Structures are given as structure tokens and as C-alpha cells.
């Protein structure tokens, strides 16, 4: 069994699931006030590591406000100068009691945000996961004003105004510099649209019994954060001592055109970094010398080309057919002129990754429904634009990326990876993996091609192992973004071009012990 910390770091819950978990704890007779005391005590300890001693505390009507008041009281007793902003007249009972006690201690309390004296930082306890409707009127105005202030804002549980599941802004929202997520990771922390409000995210673990989490999640498809622990189970390491190149996977890449020659190189370098045993690359004939010069170890298959320099049809070497490969990755740089090769690619009985023009051709041909008939696994790796072309009837993925990718996987029967700041992966059964850490340094042409090659290489190597394909795709996404993070640390966010990224993939693996691998 995994240790508790590893379990907690992986799990992601919706507001409803969090409420059910809490409900079980309270039903087992843990007093609500005692839990609030415990949780807020942990927050107060964490806050004491922050620089500054003059603190403004924003108090909402529910238990998020109650948490904030306990923090206020603890900081007051530790010698901090504390001021409260409490604009609501109706408070939940426990919150109301904490407010009365804080006031009895002489902690000043204001109803108007402008009355708050100048402080070193603010603590946001306006709303937590109980926010159910858009914030309006004077509270909305106050939040907009607070967002203009220069002080750091530390949000309790979630920035007030952010929807706990979709991450959307409900009316308006606090722009936090730091957010302490309580107990279990909530879904909003993994939704792109919430990231600029959350700031730096940190989990405060308050010992929720794992049995309660299991009981609530039950058999429903899980939403999981990808962690080094996940990756460890999937990476093709260590290699068995006795093996040979074909046992370590044979990947066929189908990519490139005269117009987009570089895409083929980047895809191939991503595949190379995966450690795949044998790499074959089908490109238009005229690109063969270029590919050979960059990847001397690969078998370059020059294919007849169209007038525009796209692959006209696949011409595999003698005695080779699609079933000679353990996986195929197809798409980067093909152009739509390569459309005629598609029926053969789709009908192959080999694990298939489709990206870039592979997805655009699929969208144009309207062949999503035929994917379900494939005899082998399919992985689709769209960015938002490709996603919308492929799945036009799924609601805007920017509004709820996790729901969108889940629907796409069900619709297509494929494993779908929706690229973004928090890349999300879904399988046809509705299970989700989300990459919790990345860097905007990757927002750069060609970095997606590297990912395609990397995932293709991992799939080929896993061909004879019983590893769920979504775990392999998750490992690829994690590895790719960790390489971006490492490269950005050494070279700044501006120094991570796609070629450089390929050079950092190996470094990530060699540094795994320091990333919590052990
Ligand atoms: N019971 C406890 O002691 C614990 C409390 N926790 C804290 O409790 C929070 C959840 O508490 P609650 O369920 O009380 O919910 P919240 O404190 O998040 O807010 C709910 C309150 O806001 C009101 N409200 C909702 N939307 C509004 C809007 N747009 N405008 C004005 N009022 C609005 C509701 O009527 C309700 O009174 C968590 O986020 C966390 O901070 C938990 O983390 C840990 C355990
Ligand atoms: N803001 C961001 N933060 C983290 N990762 C990002 C961000 N923007 C893009 N990425 C990642 O960069 C890659 C871009 O891929 P893609 O859009 O296909 O680029 P290309 O087609 O040029 O190769 C994806 O893996 C995506 O998740
Ligand atoms: K909050």
C-alpha cells in the first residue's frame, strides 16, 4: 500500500466530494469546532513563516470566515497586530462566536475595506468551497479594490470567488499570491483559468482519514495529480539485463513535410529521449538526408511526396508492415496534403498517437467515430484549438477543461490529452490524470512535437507490459514539463526552445532521486 502522503498528494476532489468527506468526519462525532480549531491552527503556524507582523484579515459569513478568525486570534496572541474586515451581518453560528471572541480581545473590526489600516499582508477568508453564486454588490467592489493593493494576499482554502470545481471566476475573485488548500486538492487548483488567482498553491494536510476519502470516492472515476510516484511505476526503468533493441520497443513516426521539416526532427528527438529500442521515421523523400544527419541511429523511410512536399503514401521497407511496430506516432508537420495516408494509419492494429495535423486531418475527415472501431489503443494530444476542431459539440474547453477532456475521451474511445498549463488526460472510462506542475516556458512552437515523440517512445516500450495507457501518457506529460521546468531554472523561461527542451529530458530522469523518487 502507498503511504498516506503519496495517496493524499495524488487525489483531487470536487466541492461535493469534499463536503461528503467532511460530513463523514462530523458524523463520526468529530466536533465541527474542534476541526476548525485544528485546521486553522495549522494555517496560523504556516502564516507565521511569512514575513510581516501587521495583518489584515478578511472574514466571510461561513466557515472559511471562521477559519480566518481562528487564525486572527492565534496571530494576535503571538504578538501580531491584527485587523478584521468583516462586511457580513449574518454569520454562521461558529463564525459568529469566533468574531465575538476576537472583538472581546480588542481586535479591531471594520465593515468597510477602506478602513483597514496599512498592513504587511492580507489573509482571505471570505469564501471557501461553500461559494455557490456570483459575488455581487459591495463585496465585489471590495474584492476589486483589494486586488489593487500592493500587499500579498494569502487565501484560505481557495481564492474567494473561484469556483471550486471549474476554477471559473464567480463575479469577481481575490487574486492571491499564495493559497493554502485545506485537506485535499480541490479541482480548481488544476484548472488553467484559476491559476492566475491561486498564486503559489500549498496543501495543508489535516489528517483526513484515508478510509473516508475512499468511501466518498468509491468506484467513481478518479481525478488524480501526476506525481513522481505515478511516474516511477511506468518508466521503462530499470531495463532487464538481458534484452535487445526490438524488445525495447519499435516506434514508427510519421511526420514532416517540405514546409515543416523541423517538426519531424523535434518529434524524433523527443522519441529518442524516451530510450525507445528502435526508431523508424517516415518522412517525404526529400527530407531523408536532413533526418539522417540529425538522427544517425534511426531508420529513415523516405516516402513518395506530393507536389507540395507532403507524404503522398506510406512506402514501408520490404517485409515491413504496420504490425512490425509496437507503436505509431503520427502528425507533426504533415500538412493536410498528407490526408490520403490516413485510412491506412487509422486501420493499423498498433497503438497510435495522433497530434497536430494528424488531428486536423481527423477533424476534416470527420472520423472520430471510427476510432472506436480500432483494434488497438489510440491517443489524441490536442491543444485547445485542435480540440475544438475535433470535438465541436463539446462545450468550450476553456470553461471546464477537465469536463471537456472527459467527454472527449468517452466520445472517441481514445485516451485524450488536452494540452495546457495544467495538461489533463482522460480515458474512455472517465478517469482523469492532471499534470500539477509546469512552466510557461513551454508555450513555444515545437514543444508539443517533442511531447508526441516522447509519448510514442514510451508507448512502444510499454507494448509488452501491462501498464494502462493513460499512465504512460501521464508519465510523458510529466516528464516533458519537468524538463521544461529544469531548463527554465538553468536558462530562464526565455531559454527553453524546443530543441533545448529535448536536451533536458534525460537530465530529469537522472535527477529523479532528488525529485522524491526514492
Ligand atoms: N468545519 C470546519 O471547521 C472546517 C471548515 N473548513 C472551512 O470551511 C469552508 C467551507 O465553509 P462553508 O461551507 O461554511 O462555506 P464558505 O465559508 O465557503 O461560505 C459559505 C457561506 O457564504 C454564503 N454565500 C455563498 N455564496 C455567497 C455569495 N455569492 N455572496 C454572499 N454569500 C454567499 C453562504 O450562504 C454561506 O453562509 C472551507 O472552505 C474551509 O475554509 C474546512 O476546510 C475544514 C473543516
Ligand atoms: N502556459 C503554459 N504552461 C505550461 N505548459 C504549457 C503552457 N503553454 C503550453 N504549454 C505546453 O507546451 C506544449 C505546447 O504544445 P503545442 O501547442 O502542440 O505546440 P507545438 O504544436 O508548437 O509543438 C504542450 O505540452 C503544452 O502543455
Ligand atoms: K478564501
Tens of pLDDT, residue by residue over 107-128, are 999 999 999 999 999 999 999 9
Name the residue among 414, 355, 349 with its Cα closest to residue 376.
349
**Beta partners for 88?**
none
Give the ligand whose atoms come closest to the C-alpha of residue 15.
1
**Where is pLDDT greater, at 518 or 169?**
169
Give the integer Cα–Cα distance in Å for 164 and 23: 17
Ligand 1 atom closest to 183 (CA):
43
Tens of pLDDT, residue by residue over 417-456, are 999 999 999 999 999 999 999 999 999 999 999 999 999 9
Question: What residues have a C-beta under 5 A from ligand 3, the ion?
Answer: 64, 124, 155-156, 160
Query: Residue 184 Cα, ligand 3 centroid: separation in angstroms?
Result: 15
Is any atom of ligand 1 closer than 6 Å to the C-beta of 92?
yes
Q: Is the pLDDT confidence value at 1 over 80? A: no
Name the residue among 443, 302, 471, 300 with its Cα closest to residue 377.
471
Give the integer Cα–Cα distance in Å for 443 and 123: 32
Q: Report pLDDT for 233.
A: 85
Give the ligand whose atoms come closest to the C-alpha of residue 448.
2
In this structure, which residue's CA is closest to atom 15 in ligand 1?
A: 130
Identify which of 36, 42, 62, 181 to mutate to test ligand 1's pocket (most ligand atoms within 8 A of the CB): 62
Tens of pLDDT, residue by residue over 472-514, are 999 999 999 999 999 999 999 999 999 999 999 999 999 887 6
Q: Report pLDDT for 514.
A: 66
Give the ligand whose atoms come closest to the C-alpha of residue 450.
2
Tens of pLDDT, residue by residue over 233-267, are 899 988 999 999 989 999 999 999 999 999 999 99
Tens of pLDDT, residue by residue over 323-373, are 999 999 999 999 999 999 999 999 999 999 999 999 999 999 988 888 999
Q: Is the pLDDT confidence value at 517 over 70? A: no
- The three three-digit cell numbers of residue 452, written as one number: 508526441
Tens of pLDDT, residue by residue over 47-58, are 999 999 999 999
Q: Report pLDDT for 3.
A: 86
Identify which of 129, 139, 188 to mutate to test ligand 1's pocket (most ligand atoms within 8 A of the CB): 129
Is any atom of ligand 2 closer than 6 Å to the C-beta of 441?
no
Tens of pLDDT, residue by residue over 21-48, are 999 999 999 999 999 999 999 999 999 9
Cα 225 to its chain centre, rounded Å, is 7
Q: Report pLDDT for 232.
A: 86
Give the integer Cα–Cα distance in Å for 471 and 479: 12
Tens of pLDDT, residue by residue over 355-364, are 999 999 999 9
Q: Is the pLDDT confidence value at 515 over 60? A: no
**Known binding-site residue numbers for K(+):** 64, 124, 160
In this structure, which residue's CA is closest to atom 9 in ligand 2?
A: 443
Cα distances from 408 to residues 72, 382, 428, 451, in angstroms, run: 46, 11, 8, 20
Is any atom of ligand 1 closer than 6 Å to the C-beta of 59?
no
Give the integer Cα–Cα distance in Å for 388 and 444: 20
Tens of pLDDT, residue by residue over 285-316, are 999 999 999 999 999 999 999 999 999 999 99
Ligand 1 atom closest to 26 (CA):
1
Is any atom of ligand 1 closer than 6 Å to the C-beta of 40?
no
- Name every residue whose Cβ is closer than 8 Å to that of residue 257 and which is 6 or more positions away in sequence: 284, 287, 305, 308, 309, 310, 311, 333, 334, 335, 337, 338
Query: Residue 320 Cα, ligand 2 centroid: separation in angstroms?
Result: 34
Is any atom of ligand 2 closer than 6 Å to the C-beta of 14?
no
Give the ligand whose atoms come closest to the C-alpha of residue 485.
2
Order of strands across the sheet that contains 121-125: 109-110, 81-85, 54-59, 121-125, 153-156, 178-182, 200-204
Query: Residue 485 Cα, ligand 2 centroid: separation in angstroms?
Result: 13
Query: Residue 465 Cα, ligand 3 centroid: separation in angstroms?
Result: 45
Q: Where are the beta strands (DSSP E) in 394-512?
A: 415-418, 424-426, 432-434
Q: Report pLDDT for 344.
A: 95
Is any atom of ligand 2 closer than 6 Å to the C-beta of 440?
yes
Q: Where are the beta strands (DSSP E) in 371-439?
A: 378-380, 415-418, 424-426, 432-434
- The three three-digit cell numbers of residue 501, written as one number: 527542451
Q: Is the pLDDT confidence value at 463 over 80? A: yes
Instruction: Name the band, by pLDDT with cuts 50, 70 and 90, for residue 398.
Output: confident
The DSSP bridge pattern shows strands 415-418 and 424-426 to be antiparallel
Is any atom of ligand 2 closer than 6 Å to the C-beta of 419?
yes
Q: Report pLDDT for 382.
A: 98
In SS3 terms, 235-272 reads as: CCCCCCCCCCHHHHCEEEEECCCCCCHHHHHHHHHHHH
Amino acid at each position: 500500500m502507498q503511504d498516506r502522503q503519496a495517496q493524499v498528494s495524488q487525489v483531487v476532489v470536487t466541492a461535493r466530494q469534499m463536503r461528503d468527506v467532511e460530513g463523514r468526519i462530523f458524523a463520526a462525532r468529530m466536533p465541527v469546532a474542534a476541526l476548525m480549531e485544528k485546521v486553522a491552527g495549522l494555517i496560523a503556524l504556516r502564516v507565521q513563516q511569512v514575513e510581516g507582523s501587521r495583518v489584515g484579515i478578511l472574514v466571510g459569513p461561513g466557515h472559511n470566515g471562521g477559519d480566518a478568525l481562528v487564525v486572527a486570534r492565534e496571530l494576535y496572541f503571538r504578538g501580531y497586530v491584527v485587523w478584521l474586515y468583516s462586511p457580513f451581518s449574518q454569520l454562521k453560528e461558529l463564525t459568529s462566536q469566533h468574531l465575538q471572541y476576537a472583538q472581546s480581545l480588542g481586535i479591531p473590526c471594520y465593515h468597510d475595506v477602506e478602513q483597514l489600516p496599512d498592513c504587511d499582508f492580507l489573509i482571505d477568508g471570505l469564501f471557501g468551497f461553500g461559494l455557490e453564486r456570483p459575488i455581487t454588490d459591495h463585496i465585489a467592489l471590495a474584492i476589486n479594490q483589494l486586488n489593487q493593493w500592493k500587499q500579498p494576499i494569502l487565501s484560505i482554502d481557495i481564492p474567494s470567488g473561484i469556483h471550486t470545481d471549474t476554477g471559473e471566476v464567480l463575479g469577481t475573485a481575490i487574486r492571491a499570491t499564495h493559497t493554502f488548500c485545506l485537506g485535499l486538492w480541490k479541482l480548481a487548483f488544476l484548472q488553467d483559468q484559476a491559476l492566475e488567482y491561486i498564486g503559489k498553491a500549498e496543501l495543508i494536510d489535516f489528517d483526513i482519514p484515508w478510509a473516508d476519502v475512499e468511501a466518498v470516492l468509491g468506484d467513481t472515476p478518479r481525478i488524480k495529480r501526476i506525481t513522481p510516484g505515478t511516474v516511477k511505476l511506468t518508466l521503462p526503468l530499470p531495463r532487464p539485463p538481458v534484452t535487445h533493441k526490438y524488445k525495447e520497443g519499435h516506434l514508427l513516426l510519421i511526420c514532416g513535410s517540405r514546409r515543416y521539416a523541423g517538426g519531424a526532427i523535434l518529434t524524433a528527438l523527443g522519441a529518442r529521449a524516451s530510450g525507445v529500442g528502435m526508431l523508424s521515421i517516415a518522412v517525404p523523400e526529400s527530407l531523408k538526408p536532413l533526418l539522417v544527419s540529425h538522427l544517425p541511429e534511426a531508420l529513415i523511410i523516405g516516402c513518395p511526396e506530393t507536389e507540395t512536399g507532403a507524404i503522398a503514401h506510406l512506402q514501408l521497407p520490404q517485409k515491413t508492415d504496420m504490425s512490425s511496430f509496437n507503436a505509431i506516432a503520427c502528425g507533426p508537420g504533415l500538412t493536410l496534403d498528407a490526408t490520403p495516408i490516413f485510412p491506412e494509419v487509422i486501420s493499423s492494429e498498433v497503438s497510435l498517437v495522433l497530434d497536430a495535423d494528424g488531428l486536423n486531418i481527423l477533424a476534416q475527415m470527420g472520423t472520430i467515430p471510427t476510432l472506436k472501431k480500432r483494434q488497438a489503443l489510440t491517443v489524441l494530444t490536442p491543444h485547445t484549438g485542435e480540440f475544438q476542431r475535433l470535438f465541436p459539440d463539446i462545450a468550450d474547453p476553456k470553461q471546464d477543461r477537465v469536463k471537456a477532456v472527459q467527454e472527449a475521451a468517452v466520445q472517441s474511445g481514445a485516451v485524450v490529452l488536452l494540452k495546457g498549463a495544467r495538461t489533463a488526460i482522460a480515458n474512455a472510462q472517465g478517469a482523469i490524470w492532471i499534470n500539477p506542475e509546469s512552466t510557461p516556458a513551454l508555450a513555444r512552437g515545437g514543444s508539443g512535437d517533442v511531447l508526441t515523440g516522447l509519448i510514442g517512445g514510451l508507448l512502444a516500450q510499454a507494448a509488452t507490459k501491462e501498464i494502462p495507457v493513460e499512465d504512460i501518457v501521464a508519465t510523458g506529460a510529466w516528464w516533458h514539463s519537468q524538463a521544461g521546468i529544469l531548463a527554465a531554472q538553468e536558462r530562464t523561461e526565455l531559454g527553453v526552445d524546443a530543441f533545448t527542451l529535448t536536451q533536458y529530458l534525460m537530465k530529469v530522469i537522472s535527477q529523479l532521486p532528488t525529485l522524491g523518487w526514492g
